[in-house]
Amino acid sequence: MKNVKNKRLFIALNLPAEMKQSVKIFLDGIKESIPGVVWAHPLTLHITLHFLGDTGPEQAEKIKMEMQNLSGKYHPMEFALSGRLNAFPAMNNPKILYLELKQSNGNSALSLQKILGKNLSQWIKIDKRPWHPHITIGRIKEPSVFRLPVTVPLMRSGGFAVESFDLMESRLYLAGARYTVVEKFKLSL
C-alpha cells in the first residue's frame, strides 16, 4: 500500500502574467536598495485567501468540495495596486514585505475569504486575523541589515482581474518555495 503524504496547501487568487511582469520590473528596480530580503519569484506572486498548512488527502478532498460549492457564485474580481510598499506585522518590525491592493469592483474577495474561512474552520485551523488583499513580494531574512531607503518608489501599474480561486500546493526548497496549482475553481460560470 502506497503511503500518501500530506501537502502544504493554501487557497489563492493567482495574478495574471501581465501583472506578474509589472511586479518583476518594479522589484528589479528596488532590490539592490533594500538589503536583507529574500525576494519572491515573480512566477509565484498571488493573493493568499487562506494558508491551510499541512493537509491530509481526506481534508484536501473536503476543501475541494467547499471550493466547488462556491465556484460560479462570484464575478471576476478586479484589483488595483495602491502602489505602496508595506510590511507585516508592521513597518517598524517587518517580517514580510507586500504591495497593498484594493478591490476595485466591490468587496467580493473579502466575502469569499470570510465564507471559505467559516466553512473550512470546521476541520482546519483558520487564521482569524483581519484580512486585506496584498501581494507578498519578500521576506526579511536578515533583520540586522534590512533597511528601507528614505524614499521607496511607488509601483505604477494599471488594474488587473482574476477569474478563478485556486487550491495551491507549496513545496519548500533551499532556494525558496515553489507553488503549483492543485485545482482551479472559476469565480463565475
Taking the model in full, what pTM does it have? 0.90
> Which residue in 41, 75, 132, 134 is the catalytic one?
134
- pLDDT digit string (tens) for 139-158? 998 887 888 776 667 777 77
For 49, left (φ over 0), alpha (ψ -120 to 50), or beta? alpha
Distance CA 52, CA 115 (A): 15
Q: How many CA atoms lie within 13 A of 159 on its CB side?
A: 11
Active-site annotation holds for 46: yes
Q: Right CATH number for 7-35+44-80+102-136+158-186 from 3.90.1140.10, 1.20.950.20, 3.40.640.10, 3.10.20.30?
A: 3.90.1140.10
Q: Please determine, for residue 188, whether its predicted confidence score (pLDDT) is greater than 90.
A: yes
> Which residue in 41, 46, 75, 132 is the catalytic one?
46
- pLDDT digit string (tens) for 95-142? 999 999 999 998 999 999 999 999 999 989 999 899 999 999 999 988
Residues written for the chain: 189
Span 80-88, average pLDDT: 86
**Kind plus residue range of the DSSP H or E element containing 98:** strand 93-103
Provide the pLDDT for residue 3.
45
Provide the pLDDT for residue 148.
78
